[in-house]
């Protein structure tokens, strides 16, 4: 099982109440990084937003 948790309440994802287009692009960037980590053989990791804040984590169980 792949478990991904990303908090999208920060400025990198929304404008106060809703996910913005830029926030959707940021989620895509996060998922691309997870995909690359999986391809490199990693089983878990932290998720950082474009501003350098830790916003979540992922792991393969």
Domain ranges in the chain? 2-60
17 has a pLDDT exceeding 90: no
Say how far apart CA 60 and CA 41 lie, in whole Å. 11
> pLDDT tier at 16 (50, 70, 90 boundaries)?
confident
Higher pLDDT, 15 or 56: 56
SS (H, E, C) the chain: CEEEEECCCCCCCECCCCECHHHHHHHHHHHHHHHHHHHCCCCEEEEECCCCCEEEEEEEC
| pTM beyond cutoff 0.85 | yes
pLDDT digits (tens, 9 = 90+) for 34-55: 999 999 999 999 999 999 999 9
């Amino acid at each position: 099982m792949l478990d991904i948790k990303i908090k999208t309440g920060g400025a990198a994802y929304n404008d106060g109440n809703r996910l913005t287009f830029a926030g959707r692009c940021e989620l895509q960037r996060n998922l691309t990084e997870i995909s690359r980590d999986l391809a490199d053989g990693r089983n878990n990791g932290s998720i950082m937003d474009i501003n350098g804040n830790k916003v979540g984590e992922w792991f393969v169980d």
